[in-house]
Structure 1
C-alpha cells in the first residue's frame, strides 16, 4: 500500500470510528482529521466533504459482479442450485460486518440498502437476460423478495450481535430458500425441547 493509499485509509477509518456513534450530519472534517492525525488540507485532497467520504465507503461495500453471480454458475448447463450453499453471502456480511452494521442500522444510510438491492438485482437480471431466461418479470419479483429477506435477516443478525453462528444462519437461510418459509416454520414449530 502506498503512502497516499494509507493516508486515505486512515481518514476513512477515522470517519468510521465517528460514524458508528453519531449521525453523518454531526461529523466534522476537523473531527476526522484530528482522529486520523492529519490537517484539514489533507482531507480535502481526497474528499470534498463528509458526504463524499460516506459515498466512497458505501460504494466500496457494494458487492462486485463476480460475488453476485457466483451462485448462478451452472444455470446454462442446468447444474446450478441457485440458493444452494449460502456461504458466499454469509462470508461477505461477516467480513464487512462493522461497516454494514452502521449502514444498515437505525442511524445508518437507507440509500445504501436501496443501492445494494438495485445493484444485486440489476446484475442478476442482466445476466439472466443475456442467457435468454424467460419470464424475467416474475424472476425479478422473486429476486426482490429474496434479496429483501436476506437483508432483513442480516440486519436482525447484526442487531442481535450475531448471537447465533454464521453457519447456523446459513443453514436457516438454506432451509428457507429450498423448502419455503411455511415448510421451514412448520418444521421448527413441530420441534419441542
Structure 2
C-alpha cells in the first residue's frame, strides 16, 4: 500500500531496521483498512494494533496518535515542488504536459485520494492539495492574460475545487478513462468556463 511513506529497503539495512520498517508498514496498512470504513473519529489505536498484531508501545514508537499517522500519509501523497511541472508555461504543449503530469500523479494514488477527498476524508487534505497546486494554476492563468488580483484568487479556488472534485469522481469509477481522455473531458469544459487554464 503506502510504500511511498517508507524509505527504500537498502541492502545494508540491519535486521532490526528492516523489522522496524515492516512493522511501521503493517501499522499503516491496518490504519488505512479501518480508516476507510470508519473515518478518523472512529479509528482507534486499539483496533489498529489488534489488526497489525502489535502492542500500543510499538504504535507509539512510530506515531504520536491516529491523527499524526493520517497526516504522515497525507504528506506523502502531496506532490513536492520537484514533482510538479514548472510554473512558467508558455506554450500549449507545455500546458498539456503540465496537466497530464498532475493527472498522472492523481491517478497513481487515486484509491487514496478518493478516500481522503471524500466524505470520510480530511478537509485539511483538500486545502493542502489546493495550496500546493495554486502557484501552478495561478501562473497558467497569468500567462493567458489574467491580472494578478483578487479576482484571480477566486478563479484559482473555483478551478481547483472543480478539478479535484472531477478527478475524484472520474477515478472512483470502476472503468476510469485514461489520462488522455480525462484531459479531453476537461478541455471540453472550456466553452462553459472560458477562463480555465485548459483552452485549445
TM range (shorter): 0.7 to 0.9
Change (3 A) 1:30 1:22: same
Q: CA deviation at 1:113?
A: 0.8
User: TM-score scaled to structure 1, two decimals?
Assistant: 0.74
| Equivalence for 2:38 | 22
Following superposition, the deviation at residue 175 of structure 1 comes to 3.8
1:13-59 C-alpha deviation (Å, 9 max, x unpaired):
11111111112111111211222222211100011111111111111
Q: 2:119 aligns with which of 86, 97, 106?
A: 106
Could you tell me how far 1:71 is from its partner in structure 2?
5.2
Secondary structure of the corresponding residue to residue 54 of structure 2: coil
Q: How far did 1:111 drift? A: 1.7
- 1:53 maps to 69
Q: Distance in 1 between matches of 2:183 and 2:23?
A: 37
Change (3 A) 1:8 1:171: same
Counterparts of residues 44-193 of structure 1 (less than 5 Å): 44-68=60-84, 70=85, 72-73=87-88, 75=89, 78-79=90-91, 83-85=95-97, 86-121=99-134, 123-124=135-136, 135-137=147-149, 138-176=151-189, 179-181=190-192
Which runs of no fewer than 5 residues in structure 2 stay unpaired?
Answer: 1-8, 10-16, 195-200
SS of residue paired to 1:20: helix
Counterpart contact for 1:72–1:82, Cα < 8 Å: no
Instruction: Quote the Cα distance in structure 1 between the aligned partners of 2:29 and 2:129.
Output: 21
Residue equivalent to 1:186: none
More helix by share: 1
The 1:83/1:125 distance shift into structure 2, 3 A limit, reads closer
TM-score by length of 2: 0.72
Q: Distance in 2 between matches of 1:167 and 1:81?
A: 13
8 Å contact from structure 1 (residues 125, 136) kept in 2? no
Query: C-alpha offsets along residues 66-115 of structure 1, whole Å, 9 cap, x if unaligned?
Result: 333x1535x4xx44656423321221111111211111111211221122
* Structure 2: distance between partners of 1:125 and 1:173: 14
